[in-house]
Amino acid sequence: MKLPVVLSLSVCHLFNLTVKCENSVTLKIPAHVDLQIGDIQNISVVPSARLQETLVVIFNVTFSSKQTSVVELPKYITLPSHSANSTVLPVRGVEVGQTTVYLENNCTSNVTRILARIHFLVVQSNVLRIVCQLIGWIYFFAWSISFYPQVIENWRRKSVVGLNFDFLALNLTGHIAYGMFNIGLFWIPYVEEQFVVYNPSEVNPVQGSDVFFSLHAILLTVITICQCCFYERGEQKVSKVTTGFLVAAWLFALITLFVTVANKITWLQYLYYFSYIKLVITVIKYVPQAYMNYRRKSTIGWSIGNVLLDFTGGSFSIVQMFLQSYNNDEWLLIFGDPTKFGLGLFSVIFDIFFIVQHYCLYRQKSDYRPVDADN
């Protein structure tokens, strides 16, 4: 259940648009409402203080994924004067899809007339929506826990021989880039406002769990890299090719930072560049490890537990996207978040390859080769 948010905006911000007849009044409403076809839901609209005059709030549909609004709304609601009580807004889901509605007021004072915005999502089934949420938590935990088997494997062996350093370097940069994207869209109000301006019909795709995953992934990757400094590693090192790629990636981030500061692109666009860096790294980061396993004819040192959990997370992520697309009657949702789709798809492809290497091609376990044979 979505919690109501207080939309209180100044003239300088998009949603600081309040009723200001004599005293400044804000409205408390849900920013996002989920409905099933045929469901009726009562939404509370609550003024923050007593109104000095009767306020008529009308509803302006600015976006609909279908030809008509997917929800049935009254033409207007009336907030009585000298009252701070909640007023009930009945809403009924009539068609699967999404609709964005702006609440506008009849106040005659010199203020912007837009009061707030509500994004409605009507789905085929609330049960299926709950199933999608459960699947989301499954792949969240699977991906989060997948870092631990490698850390435990390194600690048990007191060695990182067999764990490719190129993979670690790429993984750290990828998670830092994805973390910056998630933190920016979730925690920085200015960026959130830009997202609303450029995507008035969409909901912020970043959730608190995404931020936690990114920070947790960075921490566990750093711990693994620290293990490489203390445990046996032989002659392993980050290759020149990977070093060059990472230098290019961070140089690109630095140059676009200067471009952003110069107001040539928005901070929102700048953060999206980080999500693209993460996507590119997701495509290539497993290649060095797979090639190293092939050269050594062994997967010793590369934790299969990490692979199996990663495969679980990627598989459930893809399943969730298909279920959401069906439930929302919007198949573009599969590709609506290219970073998330890429994380799931390429993880599954490489995990299958690693599983074949471990259980089929190099199933004979033996003492690992000296690391200098890997280079």
- Full set of structural domains in the chain with CATH: 4-123 (2.60.40.10), 127-374 (no CATH)
- Cα separation of 355 and 120, whole Å? 43
Greatest Cα-to-Cα distance within the chain, rounded to the nearest angstrom: 83
Confidence tier at 231 by pLDDT (50, 70, 90) = very high
**Top-confidence range, 8-22, 70-84, 239-253, 332-346:** 239-253
Amino acid 274: pLDDT:
93
> C-alpha distances in angstroms, 357 versus 45, 153, 154, 349?
59, 18, 20, 13
Q: If you search the block for the tokens 């940069």, which residue do you land on? A: 173
Count CA within 13 A, CB hemisphere, residue 44.
12
**Amino acid sitting at position 71:** V
Amino acid 328: pLDDT:
78
Residue-wise pLDDT for 124-178, tens only, equals 888 988 998 899 899 899 999 999 999 999 999 999 999 999 999 999 999 999 9
301: left (phi over 0), alpha (psi -120 to 50) or beta: left
Amino acid 63: pLDDT:
81
> C-alpha distances in angstroms, 290 versus 53, 190, 210, 281, 370?
70, 42, 27, 15, 18
Report whether 76 contacts 89 (CB < 8 A).
no
Confidence tier at 1 by pLDDT (50, 70, 90) = very low
pLDDT > 90? residue 79? no
Averaged over 208-218, what is the pLDDT? 90
Using CB atoms within 10 A of its CB, is residue 295 exposed (0-12), middle (13-18) or buried (19+)?
exposed
Averaged over 98-126, what is the pLDDT? 74
Count CA within 13 A, CB hemisphere, residue 305.
12
Beta-carbon count within 10 A of 84 CB: 13
Strand, helix or coil at 181? Answer: helix
Q: Using a pLDDT cut of 70, give the percent of the chain over it.
A: 83
- Cα separation of 151 and 149, whole Å? 5
329-337 own/partner pairs: CB under 8 Å, 24+ apart: 329/96, 329/97, 329/124, 330/65, 330/97, 330/98, 336/205, 337/205
Task: Tell which residue, 303, 349, 333, 314, has the closest CA to residue 138.
Answer: 314
pTM: 0.76
Structure tokens at 237: 């090192």
- Cα separation of 185 and 196, whole Å? 11
Amino acid 303: pLDDT:
94
Confidence tier at 6 by pLDDT (50, 70, 90) = very low
Beta-carbon count within 10 A of 172 CB: 19
Residue-wise pLDDT for 285-341, tens only, equals 999 999 999 999 999 999 999 999 999 998 998 888 888 888 877 766 565 556 667
Report whether 231 contacts 159 (CB < 8 A).
yes
φ, ψ of residue 234 to 5 degrees: the values are 65, -135
Using CB atoms within 10 A of its CB, is residue 204 exposed (0-12), middle (13-18) or buried (19+)?
middle
Q: Over the chain, what is the mean pLDDT?
A: 82
